[in-house]
Amino acid sequence: MTPPNLDFHPQAIAEARVARRRYARIIAALAERFMDELDHAVNQIAATPAQWPPYLHGTRFYRLRRFPFLIVYRETALGVQVVAVAHARRRPGYWRRRLR
């Protein structure tokens, strides 16, 4: 089975970069671990998007194990779109305007 197309909202990319930079300021290896876990999450989502729980506004989410972030995504006719790399403890649903 071929995984669906995977697309990132530009603001989701920006959020991941900001998080990586914050972790890099603490310890460079921490930023690398964050990116490794993010890559793993994206691969899991691409392989089986329906496996992860429903979330707000018709989306689903994947919670990172070692970092307080959710990968918020939705399935579209063209594949999967990552809508946000959202901190799990801040402003739930702030990204809903990106769903238009």
Q: Is 40 a domain residue? A: yes
Q: Which residue has the tokens 């890099």?
A: 24
Total structural domains within the chain: 1
pLDDT band at 1 (very low <50, low <70, confident <90, very high): very low
Pair of tokens at residue 93: 């649903």
CB distance 80 to 73 below 8 Å: yes
Q: Is 100 a domain residue? A: no
pLDDT at 3: 55
Residues 9 and 24: their CA atoms lie apart, in Å, by 23
Q: Is 52 a domain residue? A: yes
Q: Is 99 a domain residue? A: no
- 3-55, pLDDT tens digit by residue? 568 999 999 999 999 999 999 999 999 999 999 999 999 999 999 999 999 99
pLDDT at 4: 66
Instruction: Collapse the DSSP code of 93 into the 3-class scheme (helix H, G, I; strand E, B; otherwise coil) and give the result.
Output: coil
Q: Is 95 a domain residue? A: no
State which residues form the domain around 75.
5-90
pLDDT at 77 over 90: no
Pair of tokens at residue 62: 């994947």
Q: Is 27 a domain residue? A: yes
CATH number, residue 18: 3.30.2310.20
- Helix-strand-coil split of the chain, %, nearest 5: 50, 25, 25
pLDDT at 43: 94
Q: Is 96 a domain residue? A: no
